[in-house]
Amino acid sequence: MSHIDLAVLKSKFRGALVGSLLGDCLGAPFEGELVSSGDKIVIQKYFDKLESPDLKGPIRSYTDDTAMMKSVAKTFIDKPEVDYTYMAKLFVKEYFAEPKRGYGESIVEVFSKLRKRKFEDVYKPAQEQFNGSGSFGNGGGMRVAPVALYFYNNYDAMIDVAKKSTQLTHTHSLGVHGAVFQCIAVSQALACNPKKKIDPEQFCNELKQKMKEVEKENDDGLNLKVEQPYVDKINVIQHFLKAKYNDELDEEIGIVLGNNICAIESVPTALYCFLRSLEEIPTVKTDNIFRRTIQYAITLGGDTDTIACMAGGIAGAYLGEEAINRNMAKQCESYEKTIEMADSLYNAVCGASNRAQFLLSDSATFITIGLSDTALMDMVVSNLQQQRATTEQLRREAAIKRMPVSLAVADIIKYITEHEQDDCLLVGFTSQRVNPFREKTPCTLL
């Protein structure tokens, strides 16, 4: 990303988090379903109604996907230096405050151990899962969008935090690398100009190169072929994107790419949904790429809330908030709070007090962030307010009456002179009885 308007970046922050929320809320009612051709028509009507300003009905609730994403974002907002113990506490607190959000049994066990052991070792409970092999579920991927946003200009830190934050609950390499896969996908989408069409082939090739580096961790040092399951999945995505769309293709995607709770069977599927939705899909009748993305993800069935959540996060990071229908968004629980959370995360990264230049960790060159007129004015006003506050503080300090050093020294000399007769170090003690350093008189034991 060589040039980006801060106003656009702020919109993309909102888009990524709101996009994740909508995918979660709107996908949840269809979770675990096998979707037929008739069901796709029902889903089409469902989305058509959601865009209506006259729709009245119950708010669509979010699941554990959004609950944990909120905790990740709050960690960065509250703790600029990432505190994983704090993040773990937020996860646990969120669960025990609202346990009926659809958490899996294994994650509940991790949270219970963390609480019981008072967060002594926040990684140990997850490491103990499944006889020590750890979970390979998609729980890390579903909540990772804030990591891509917070570290959008620091790739190495982003990868490191994506891994460590995931390992609080998922330690199997498939679970960890799945979260990294999703994080990179959101990051790449964030870097794309929303006014220019993405080249799916190029997007996949770039992601493939990065995942090859990530999956080098699978090398066991035996000089055998290194397993790279996520790189293999990207090859499958590229194959399917070249295929002509039909209903049978969706069934094949569910089998080959997957649509279940395993990271390797859902994270790549979310990316495919986004890239496929850049073009028209016969069974999803809308011109809006964002809506098409999450609606299509839901029509694939299976773990619909999480796959749509991840696909929505990628689409929102690319398109920005403007692409998301407000009537649809208002049907989702915590929409306004998610906007506020996105703004707080943006301010934590790109506040007006920060410089408009950042050193890229992976290129040793500077990029300058282009400011829109509005963003520039906001920065100027903020800086003026800071300068006025500093000037006022200096004026108050200047008004304080202070004694010259020479007068203070004269006062000290005067005091010493007037009280020198009382200074035992100068005149000695008036008697040995008041001398604390005198020799002690011996005593006789009777």
Annotated binding site: 63-65, 303, 305-306
Among 189, 93, 191, 103, which residue's Cα sits nearest to residue 139?
103
Structure tokens at 140: 């890390």
Rg over CA atoms, the chain: 31
Residue matched to tokens 């679970």: 175
Number of CB atoms found within 10 A of residue 40's CB: 20
C-alpha dihedral sign at 220, 224, 227, 231: positive
Among 381, 382, 355, which residue's Cα sits nearest to residue 368?
355
Amino acid (one-letter) located at 272? Y
Is residue 144 a contact partner of residue 183, using CB atoms and an 8 Å limit?
yes
| Alpha carbon of residue 327 to chain centroid | 26
Q: Long-range CB contacts (< 8 A, 24+ apart) of 100-104?
A: 101/61, 101/62, 101/63, 101/64, 101/67, 102/28, 102/31, 102/63, 102/64, 102/305, 103/64, 104/64, 104/137, 104/139, 104/261
Among 390, 412, 393, 394, which residue's Cα sits nearest to residue 403?
412
Is residue 292 a contact partner of residue 284, using CB atoms and an 8 Å limit?
yes
Is residue 271 a contact partner of residue 305, using CB atoms and an 8 Å limit?
no
Structure tokens at 403: 């004694």
Binding positions for Mg(2+) are: 63-65, 303, 305-306
With H, G, I as helix, E, B as strand and everything else as coil, classify residue 154. coil
Torsion of the alpha carbons at 376, 381, 383 and 388, rounded to the nearest 10: 160
Q: How far is CA 39 from CA 130, 308, 392, in A?
A: 36, 17, 66
